[in-house]
Homo-oligomer: A and B are copies of this chain.
Amino acid sequence: MQTAIKVKEDVELRNPVLIEGLPGLGSVGAIAVSYMIKELKAMKFAELYSPFFPHHVIVDKDGNVRLLRAEFYFSRAGDRDVILLTGDSQAQTIYGQYEMVSKILDFVKKYGVKVIITLGGYYATVRGESPRVICASTDPALQSIFLNSGAVSSPTNNPIAGAAGLFLGLARLRGMDAACLLGETAGHMPDPRAAKSVLTVLCEALRFKISLNDLDEAIKRSDRIVKSVREIERKVESFERTLRRRKEGITYIS
């Protein structure tokens, strides 16, 4: 079995941009692209299946079983046509990552894609109310567009792992331009706040008129979860401290 892309609907697009957001750190890319699909009322036109995905299937909302997959959507709603790519998973091996990204680039090239933007998370232990968006690129012109839209430049020698990075490297080999926008995140749970930061920069740069207000509800929900997880952690810690003292008391004093 080979990685295969099934076209569900023939579409013609004018010079589209590919925007990728497969699951990764803090699910930042996946949240951002899924949000765009909904807001732009984007239409699915292709699906990708691969033996490099994990070997389980999932039961979807309609009770149907399906393979893990990635999905291609398109929208002509903004200033520029876009192809939006998200999915259930990234490839599970190094070789699979290279293989899958290569196949996707060859596929979207046929639609006239010359620019690729990948969205993802950037591991940060401390961050403010509006997480920063780190940008790196294969092209200085593209880079400066994003810096002018609020992103900051990636540090030198920064390794960017997985699909968010490989799309850039492999695009460059094919003479395509590419940039990544990575929102600062603690990364251990889905992070809609980082996704909002990323989308703010992206919409400014591409002049997309998308309301990001609906993300605020997800952010509040996420904040509540983080808060209660922290409270539980604090209680567990305090309990363990008490226990430890009691034990040591027994050893030292009695």
Give A residues with C-beta under 8 Å from B.
1, 6, 49, 51-61, 63-68, 92-95, 97-99, 102, 136-140, 143, 153-162, 165-166, 168-170, 172-173, 178, 180, 250-252, 254
Contacts and interface: CB of A to CB of B under 8 A. Distances in A.
A61 B156 contact: yes
Contacts of A172: 65-67
A136 B55 contact: no
Contact of A173 (B56, B63, B67, B138): B67
A98 to B, nearest CB: 3
A156 B102 CA distance: 32
18 contacts: A53-B94, A55-B94, A56-B161, A56-B162, A57-B166, A57-B169, A58-B158, A58-B160, A59-B155, A59-B156, A60-B156, A63-B137, A65-B138, A65-B154, A65-B178, A66-B138, A67-B169, A93-B95
Nearest to A167: B57
A66 B169 contact: yes
Given A51-B98, A55-B166, A65-B136, 8 more contacts: A1-B98, A55-B98, A57-B160, A58-B160, A64-B140, A67-B166, A92-B94, A251-B251
A153 B65 CA distance: 11
Contacts of A170: 1, 67
A118 to B, nearest CB: 10
Contacts of A63: 136-137, 140, 143, 153-154, 156
B137 A65 contact: yes
Nearest to A66: B169
Closest 6 A/B residue pairs (Cβ): A67-B169, A51-B98, A57-B165, A57-B169, A56-B161, A55-B97
Interface of A, secondary structure class, is mixed
Given A65-B165, A65-B172, A59 B252 contact: no
Nearest to A164: B57
Given A66-B169, A66-B172, A254 B254 contact: no
A60 B143 CA distance: 14
Contacts of A168: 57, 65
Nearest to A97: B55
